[in-house]
Amino acid sequence: MKNITIASVCAVLAVAISTSLTSVSYAHLRSSGFERAPPSLLPNLAPVTPASGGSLLDKEIAMLTGRGISPARAWQAIHVQGVIAQASLVSKVETALGKAFAGVWFEPAAAQLHIGVTSNASSRVAEGVIARDAPAGEVTVTPVRSTMAQLLATQIRWNRKLTRLFRREEVETGLDPRHNTVSIILSSAVPSRERTALEHEASRSDVNVSVTVVPNSNISVTPEAKTACKKWEAGKAYCNRSITPGVTIVKEKKPECTAGPVGINEKKERILITAGHCIEKENEEWSAINKAEEESVLGQAGRFFRGSENAGEKVGDYGEISIRAGWQTGKPRNPVFAVSARWLFMNKNKEENSYPVVGEQAPQVGNTSCLVGQNTGESCGKVKMLNVTQMGGGKFKEGLVEVEEATSIGGDSGGPWIFLTESEEIRMQGSHVGKNNALTNPVYEPLKQPVANAAEGSLEGLHLVLLTTANEGRNRFVVEGKELAKATAVEGTSATSVLKSKVAKEEVIIECKKDTLSGEIESEGKSKGSASLKECSVAKPVGCGVEPFEFKFNDQLVGSEEAEDEFKPSVGTTFVEIEITKCLLKGKYKVEGTQKCTLGGKAAEEEKEIHEVSCSPTGSKLTFGKEAASFESTEKVKLTSKAKWSIG
């Protein structure tokens, strides 16, 4: 599979791209001993309608509207979560605050991320990150009592104290940043005198500790591997190669589980992640089933973790399975596609409708989280607690994420937990472990642990990198016969670029005859840059004008049968707001979505000074003022050094 990433190609989006990031400034907090600003006004965002009806996207929206949130605000909540994930905002805040990091949480009803701060100093640091990296109105600073480090240390002490109750499966603990609390959930089997003593001790803690009693006598995580065989209709839980997260995986006469996210190890091998409790021993063989219901060996189990004998050992529930050639694409440059299954619950769905996996999303309290399980299909909820400790199979399982309002059943173990963006792209969050049998809340193993110094997530523990559209191909830039090792400047120009759409049922055609650009290509297939578009006109309707504009962009290698490059806004989902003048259509129109462009066939492998990159309507996933749009152009791209280059 050949691919090409060329920063300057983004100019081919001439009429379609521009992005701006508005800084957010906050007054100092004025409560709890330091100053506090009022919540920012939310931006006026219009809902984005998914191109295909988006079954999982509908489930995400339904989960939010089912809690009394308006459809418009639900769409906005999905939009904001995607923007925050794309900007890696939480990791930037945590890095900036260091030990003073006090957690974050998302409020869907306000479509707003909260950053907890414990002092004026940490507030100022957080405000600096917000002003630099956060879209206006979507992030706010909130005073809290304790840092996440203090909460974690307190949880660890309580876990040791509650060892006897854990072994009796009568307790669960977790961290709730929204309430800045260590949460202790007791079963009704705990004697009242003991409960009273624990409540009294919690009330005297230096950090917030809440004690809740549930009516169930038993609290533990029920692993959801499944031993019962079941018949499936073709295309429901079986996919043809390459292996797809969300499908059935089996081993002879042993539990049936679900394929989870795919990672890449240090040898560049593709590795399937699933639940650790699904695996009994290393080197055991696992199989998968294609759409013709033919079972064949997927690969062998490697390292796996099923919890630990003692609290505080920081061990979760995850494992790895190698992926043999029979369940790869057969293409050496792109052995496994970065996709996730797209089941319509209780309906057939073709594997060709898989969602692309574009990156990770660290789970945060309040975030939307959806399970893709071979038996449940698709189910969505919101994150309730982090760093959950539960007993399961007689072992302590630590570092888990608990989700409320979602459902899961036997056979789902190992399946991916995901967030689907409004542009119908996947951000992976973790792999399914089981269900809290007292609260019926599913729990999963995060890819990366969102609580510093807690149990490692699966990618961390297995030393893997998540497979995404950015790294699924092994193509690299080659300059003068050597693989590109550092960012290199590029420049380019294009002939006439054409954007077509409709406004009020009237055809709109915008043409730009001149653009100049500058940017960089990088060693890992990422590119960025800016372009200036001039000599633009409106071919239809007659009598309209259009203002020139500039834009910034990011682009990235993606999997394809030919050299292909995908362009996205540098922030959020909006490329540009194009202004039409002089006619009845006068106004500003947002252009949103993505655009794929190609460098045909073998031409990508030829070392030469200039490469032509073509964008066509078939690669357009764009909207213009909410209406579908198409784009076409050809771009001539070269390195500013005039060196010869290619894809290798």
For residue 640, tell me if it sits in a domain. Answer: yes
For residue 2, tell me if it sits in a domain. Answer: no
CA distance 453 to 377: 33
| CB environment 254-287: b (16+ within 10 A), e (fewer) | ebbbbbbbbbbeeeeebbbbbbbbbbeeeeeebb
CA distance 203 to 188: 20
Do residue 397 and residue 543 come from a single domain?
A: no
- State the DSSP string of 492-548: EEES-EEEEEEETTEEEEEEEEEEEEEEEE-TTSEEEEEEEEEEEEEEESTT-EE--
Do residue 482 and residue 524 come from a single domain?
A: yes
Return the residue matching tokens 């906005």. Answer: 76
For residue 262, tell me if it sits in a domain. Answer: yes
CA distance 340 to 136: 32
Helix and strand tally (H, E) in the chain?
A: 8, 39
**The pLDDT of residue 225:** 55
CA distance 591 to 629: 8
Alpha-helical (H) ranges within 392-484 are 458-462
Alpha-helical (H) ranges within 70-119 are 71-86, 89-97
CA distance 283 to 281: 7
Q: Which of 160, 146, 78, 73 is nearest to 110 (CA)?
A: 73
Amino acid at 584: L
CA distance 205 to 334: 54
For residue 214, tell me if it sits in a domain. Answer: yes
Do residue 198 and residue 270 come from a single domain?
A: no
State how far the alpha carbon of 208 is from the alpha carbons of 97, 156, 384, 581, in Å. Answer: 21, 14, 17, 58
Structural domain that includes position 518: 7-18+475-647
Domain boundary residue among 90, 110, 143? 143
CB 637 within 8 A of CB 490: yes
Helix axes of 71-86 and 55-65: crossing angle, nearest 10 degrees = 120
369: domain CATH number is 2.40.10.10
Do residue 533 and residue 641 come from a single domain?
A: yes
For residue 25, tell me if it sits in a domain. Answer: no
**The pLDDT of residue 559:** 53
For residue 120, tell me if it sits in a domain. Answer: yes
Do residue 604 and residue 496 come from a single domain?
A: yes
For residue 23, tell me if it sits in a domain. Answer: no
Q: What are phi and psi of 288, to 5 degrees?
A: -130, 170
Do residue 479 and residue 457 come from a single domain?
A: no
Please identify every stretch of the chain with a pLDDT value under 50, giving residue numbers as ranges.
1-54, 226-235, 345-351, 560
Do residue 159 and residue 265 come from a single domain?
A: no
Element (H, E) at 427: strand 426-436
Do residue 388 and residue 275 come from a single domain?
A: yes
**The pLDDT of residue 77:** 94
Do residue 127 and residue 171 come from a single domain?
A: no
CB 117 within 8 A of CB 32: no
**The pLDDT of residue 147:** 97
Domain boundary residue among 220, 248, 267? 220
For residue 1, tell me if it sits in a domain. Answer: no
Domain boundary residue among 432, 466, 500? 466
CA distance 533 to 525: 25
Do residue 525 and residue 541 come from a single domain?
A: yes
Do residue 251 and residue 291 come from a single domain?
A: yes
Do residue 236 and residue 318 come from a single domain?
A: yes
For the whole model, what pTM was predicted? 0.70
CA distance 481 to 414: 43
**The pLDDT of residue 227:** 38
**The pLDDT of residue 562:** 64
pLDDT digits (tens, 9 = 90+) for 12-36: 333 333 333 222 222 222 233 332 2
**How many structural domains are present in the chain?**
4
